[in-house]
Amino acid sequence: MDEGKAIARLKKGDIAGLKTLVELFQTDAVQAAYLVTCDWSLAEDIVQTAFLRAFEKIKGFDETRPFRPWFLRMVVNDAIKVSMRQSRFVELNEDRDEEYTFALQKLAENQREPEDLLVQEELVLAMRKALFHLSPSQRAAIVMHYFLNLSTEDSANQLNCAPGTVRWRLSVARNRLRKSLDPFK
Amino acid sequence: MKNINHSHWILRKIVEDQSPEKTITLWPQIETRLASEGKIHPIETPIRDLKGKFSLKKAAYYTTIVLLLTVVGSLSLVPSVRAQVSDWITGQANVFSFFTPHSQVQVGLFSDGSLGFVPLSPMYLPKGDWVMVPDTYTEEVTKLKTLKLTYNKDNQFLILSEREILSDESLPIGEIIKVKNQPAVLFTGLSGEVDASIDLSDNGEVQPEPSGLVNLGPVQYSNGVWLIWQSGDIRLEILSNLTAKQVLKIANSMHPVEVLPAQMEIPEP
């Protein structure tokens, strides 16, 4: 069953349609939510809830539009909200600010994957640390742009903000990562 | 050096390093949550495909009997074929005999063995003239043949579903209770709509259509009860708008049905 048929069946109340949509989009959704929340269990929970909301809202969904951006918008927005609630209780360490800059610069550069496995691992580790020190909104902007490969305009739609805001978020994140990446140059 | 999208590669690596499992399978949890929140009930799922224009579901009622009789009827002019068909039916099929308490109605359901178990049937029901319609279908999620018994009295209903247990299958997360000293999970306070109202004739009998199907009309319910448990190799579920106490008493009264060999006598033309 393809996406269109699944949506049509779900609109008629057939949960087999929802099952198909879950199978089609759960991986992208959980991975994107994880990159925003930094918590795998939380990410799975957010995506489950998002699918339940999709089930409730599907009758108002415009079938001529693709389901993926519509659904991922809910997932990423939910992930931001949950992360922001949690971040109130986490003290940010300003000393690690440089890590942000490093990671975003690496993301912004369309370089090639290093062959050396050790270099790969170090890079991923540094990137992970840096990424997870960004604000949830900044992480969401990165996830939309670099992970889900959505355009700035699409990312803006996903995040319910103007494209300029997304560019600003990416720019801020890039600047912060650039500083922290200096030692690795 | 591989020429790939570097940014995507890094993020993908971060995700994969943290993923406890390579495959993500959220459907079982989502289905459980849908059911526990009363939005749907798993046993309704396959029937939804049959939903008609007026929200009536067609439950298969003696469909097998009708099909078999149709085959027999169409071949009845050929004595040798007639004899073969009669032998085949007698040798292959059994009849599960369900007895409904109080109303003292015996309902037979042909089985070709694909169910894989002998069904359980309640020996207790609250007082009143209950009617029951049996149905079998293949559950879309598990791909297992499932038996569905719909009991109805006025606006009260009880839907019992039974199928084989999957290997390593566990009960959903919920309030743990006991049914015949075995763990069971009980959900209460459910609300929704289910097709469980059985059309009756003026003399109070179930009225199958000429096709052998019985219309099941919608019943709105609130404060519904959903009980899931396992008995031997059978997984059982009850969805009902009876009280939790009544549903537990019904679950504790479950007993294997009588299995009779099918005897088909084909009249001479």
Partner A contacted by B181 (CB < 8 A)? no
Q: What is the domain extent for residue A11? A: 3-87
Closest residue in B to A9 (Cα–Cα): B49
Whole-angstrom distance, CA of residue A163 vs CA of residue A151: 9
Segment B243-247 mean pLDDT? 95
Q: Which residues of chain A have pLDDT under 70?
A: 85-119, 150-185
Using a CB-CB distance cutoff of 8 angstroms, which residues of chain A are in contact with residue B19? 31, 34, 40
How many CB pairs lie under 8 A apart between chains A and B? 111
CB-CB neighbours of A17 under 10 Å: 22
What is the C-alpha to C-alpha distance for residues B255 and B101, in angstroms, rounded to an integer?
Answer: 12
Domain end among A39, A65, A87: A87
- Spatial separation of the C-alpha atoms in residues A142 and A107, rounded to whole Å: 9
pLDDT exceeds 50 at position B63: no
Question: What is the Cα–Cα distance from B160 to B28, expressed in whole angstroms?
Answer: 20
Residue B83 lies inside a defined structural domain of this protein: no
Same domain for A106 and A82, yes or no, is no
Residues A111 and A176 in one domain: yes
Q: A128 and A68 in one domain?
A: no
Which of the residue ranges A158-167, B5-14, B170-179 has the most confident prediction, judged by mean pLDDT?
B170-179
ipTM for the whole complex: 0.71
Mean per-residue pLDDT over chain B, rounded:
73
| Same domain (yes/no): A82, A135 | no
Residue type, B14: I
* Residues A140 and A98 both lie in one domain: yes
pLDDT (mean) for B95-120: 78
Task: Name the domain count of chain A.
Answer: 2
Using the structure block, give the residue that is written with the tokens 């540094």.
Answer: A126
Of A98, A81, A78, A76, nearest to A147 by C-alpha is A76
| CATH code for the domain of B192 | 3.30.200.100
CA angle at residue A45 from A40 to A50, to 5 degrees? 125
**Domain coverage including residue B35:** 6-73+93-261
- Asked if A127 lies within 8 A of B10 by C-beta distance, the reply is yes
Q: Please indicate whether, in this complex, the C-beta atoms of A35 and B11 are within 8 angstroms of each other.
A: yes
Other Cβ atoms less than 10 A from the Cβ of B180: the count is 11
pLDDT tens-digit map of B148-158:
999 999 899 99
Would you call A7 an interface residue with chain B, using a CB distance cutoff of 8 Å? no
pLDDT in tens, B190-227: 888 888 998 887 777 777 776 667 778 888 888 899 99
Overall domain count for chain B? 1
- Interchain CB distance below 8 Å, A19 and B141: yes
Q: What is the pLDDT of residue A154?
A: 59
B148 close to B137: Cβ distance less than 8 angstroms:
yes
Contacting residues for B83 by C-beta, under 8 A, at least 6 apart: B266
Q: Do B17 and A128 touch (CB under 8 A)?
A: yes
Q: Does B3 touch chain A (CB under 8 A)?
A: yes
* Claim to verify: residue A81 and residue A150 sit in the same structural domain: no
> Does the beta-carbon distance from B6 to A127 stay under 8 Å?
no
The residue ranking higher by pLDDT, B229 or A38, is B229
Pair (A70, A105) in one structural domain: no
Q: What is the pLDDT of residues A104-143, one digit of tens each?
A: 666 655 455 556 666 677 777 777 777 777 777 777 877 8
Q: Are strands B182-198 and B175-179 parallel, antiparallel or unpaired?
A: antiparallel
Is some CB atom of chain B closer than 8 A to the CB atom of A142?
yes
Asked if B245 and B253 touch (Cβ cutoff 8 Å), the reply is: no
Q: From the centroid of its chain, how far is CA B26?
A: 23
Same-domain pairing of A108 and A167:
yes
Chain A residue numbers with beta carbons less than 8 Å from the beta carbon of B8 are: 146-147, 149
User: Which residues, 6+ apart, have CB-to-CB distance to A171 below 8 Å?
Assistant: none
Residues 6 or more apart whose Cβ sits within 8 Å of residue A173? A100, A104, A134, A138, A141, A142
| Option in A19, A52, A113 nearest B33 (CB) | A52
Among A87, A110, A128, the domain boundary falls at: A87
